[in-house]
Amino acid sequence: MKVTRETRSKVLTLANRLAANMSKSAAFHKAWQLVKAGSLEIAVKGVTFGRRQEALKRLTAYSPVQIKAVLVPEPNNPIDPAAIAVRVGVQNGKDLFTIGYIPKELTKTVSVISGQFPAVRVVSGSWFGKYRDMTTYGARIALAV
């Protein structure tokens, strides 16, 4: 990766935002990793609660580019006021369904990647569970940096 003025600016901006939650050296290291990668790929947590497995199973009929994903902060969440929900739906549809949450250890990083929530891309939607005869579904998303 060629280090341009734009790249340095992006790293510095991101590192300054991250420094509120970690040491400056750790923030610069993390910012450089994120900018170099171009995105942050995250496994969505909490996908087995409620009817989320059913929703994820239905989404496997669509390609990842047909799925719209949005991050929604939940400051009134009784369990974690810093929670960020991952809501998905088919791109032409109006209804979005919460399929899970950003892992707690990544919520601060995700919330400071940009001033507003970044573009979300769905990477995949199917994982297999522990038992041969039981399939569980999951989701991975990538956040543009």
Q: Domains of the chain, with CATH numbers?
A: 1-37 (no CATH), 38-144 (3.30.70)
Judged by DSSP in three states, 143 sits in strand
Judged by DSSP in three states, 132 sits in coil
Q: According to the model, what pLDDT value does residue 5 have?
A: 87
What separation in angstroms does the CA of 25 have from each of 20, 35, 63, 89? 12, 15, 39, 39
Q: According to the model, what pLDDT value does residue 45 have?
A: 94
Q: Which two tokens stand for residue 80?
A: 């974690």
Q: According to the model, what pLDDT value does residue 117 have?
A: 55
Q: According to the model, what pLDDT value does residue 128 have?
A: 56
Do the beta carbons of residue 11 and residue 32 sit within 8 Å?
Answer: yes
Walk along the chain (145 residues) and give the pLDDT tens digit of each residue: 677 888 888 888 888 888 887 899 998 898 888 888 888 888 999 998 999 998 888 888 888 888 888 888 999 999 999 999 999 988 777 789 999 999 999 888 888 774 555 567 666 665 555 555 677 888 888 887 7
Q: Which helix (H) or strand (E) holds 131?
A: none
What separation in angstroms does the CA of 126 have from each of 47, 63, 70, 71? 11, 12, 19, 20
Q: According to the model, what pLDDT value does residue 74 have?
A: 92
Q: According to the model, what pLDDT value does residue 103 have?
A: 94
Q: According to the model, what pLDDT value does residue 132 have?
A: 56
